[in-house]
Amino acid sequence: MSFFPDPQTFLQIGNIGVKWYAILMISGVAITALVSYRDIKKNGYNFELVEDLTIGCFLWGIVGARIWYCLFFDLGYFLEDPIRILQIYNGGLAIQGGLITGALYGLYYTRKRKIDFMRLADCIVPNMLIAQAIGRWGNFLNQEAHGVAVTEAYFKNFPDFIKNMMFINGEYYVPTFLYESVLNLLGFVVFYFLIRKLNQKYHFLKRGDGVYFYLVWYGWSRFIVEGMRTDSLMLGPIRMAQLTSVVFIVVGILGFVGVFRKFMKEPKPTMLFDLDGTLLDTEPAILETYRYLFAKYRTEEEFDKEKQLEVLGPPLAKMFPIYFPEQNTESLIQEYREYNFKIHPEFVKPMENAEALLKNLKEEGYKIGIVSTKFADGVKLGLDLFNLSQYVDVIVGHDDVKEGKPSPEGIFIACKKLNVGHDSCIYVGDSATDIQAAHNAGVYSIGYIFNEDRIAMLETQKPNKIIRDLAEIETILKEDHPWTYNMM
């Protein structure tokens, strides 16, 4: 039985042939994109970004891989007839050139979209080892990227189909494609199933460490395998792939030990807050307003302890159909707002240290926003009562979004209004829906405990930090964090 009756061609239609190399290369890129999407989604981005980035990096990667090959194979040969540069169907791609141009496109794309390049790269770059592992089998089918000639005995413990394909022009050759493919796959397994799992417990990875791991792993493994190949691109007496691998290793090690972080100034995180129960103690006003509605439309006794905990956090539009199904929700919301606004001066007060925190953050140059389930005018009313509006740069209320929390829409809108990305953002809230919204946006979350009865609900949502005093936030800001939910 022959596994590959035509080892190079996957499909032939007339004079047009679809090569296995292309199929495997595209398949590897697609699988990498799908694996990466899980982490990209956790960081608050959608599949559209994956598509745009994958297509752009792939196309520019092909351009870079071809240019790299032409530069170091025989530049004079290609310059004699420049059309040869475009004849990619005759073979000639060098992955390291593709990595460089793909990375440059990614840098351009992320800057244009106000995305943190290293954060997004951490989601994708380690997974590229999958694409490279698959792509090397294209070299196998093309009977290229092999080592020196060996005897048949060399393949004693290899499957027959590998031995047979490594029999080229009357001699057997070392299957270096296989060694690199296995090392690439092993690198992915080590990072994804060992390092990431350990990080979930010990939290030692910082932003960019996924990229640095890739550079070190791919660098050393390619250096070793390249030394066994017979078709290396050369820069004088030096194997270009080995030289580039050394650069990758050095950059990766320097990144791991934090050299680049010392020279690259990290932006201050954007500070977003919930309002009710976070900056303002509006709980008495909320409960008093609900009590008023229960007394009017049901009975005050029905507004028990369980319901009092349930109403703190979720939007009115969600709770009213549950508690008052016979009433018109829109009319009831208006009635709630009128009564709640009226009792604000009597029942609302700032949280302890709220004003001092906002004042200090403002003086230190932090951008500050409010993302609340309240309507924007209600948020402004509460802030104005205690002269807190002067510290707030943007307000996003329930009337500014299509979907309320736990949807991340409000967080995204606030960041957009502040002209920043959400990659370095902290959301502070006191309810389960606040933390869920932060998780869905992929931002760092701080759960504020004011009412001890609600601590269990907050803990189940696993915020990055739980505090009982707003002043603790200033201490957290001095710590070394990636400001990312569930980093890798």
- Annotated catalytic sites, by residue? 274
CA 442 to chain centre: 8
Residue 483 tokens read as 């400001």
CA distance 310 to 287: 11
Long-range residue pairs from 324-328, CB within 8 A, at least 24 positions apart, any chain: 324/293, 324/297, 324/298, 326/297, 327/297
Q: For 161, what's the count of Cα atoms within 13 Å in the CB-facing half-sphere?
A: 10
Of the candidates 404, 289, 279, which has an alpha carbon nearest to the alpha carbon of residue 338? 289
DSSP 372: -
Q: What is the SS3 assignment for 28?
A: helix
E strand intervals along 249-308: 270-273, 280-281
Scan for tokens 């009226």, then name that residue: 342
Q: Are 243 and 161 in contact (CB under 8 A)?
A: no
259: which 2 tokens?
């050299």
Cα separation, 398 vs 402, in Å, equals: 8
Calpha distance 370→414 (Å, rounded): 8
Q: Are strands 368-371 and 349-350 parallel, antiparallel or unpaired?
A: unpaired
| Rounded distance between C-alpha atoms, residue 186 and residue 182, angstroms | 6
Q: Alpha-carbon distance 350 to 387, whole Å?
A: 10
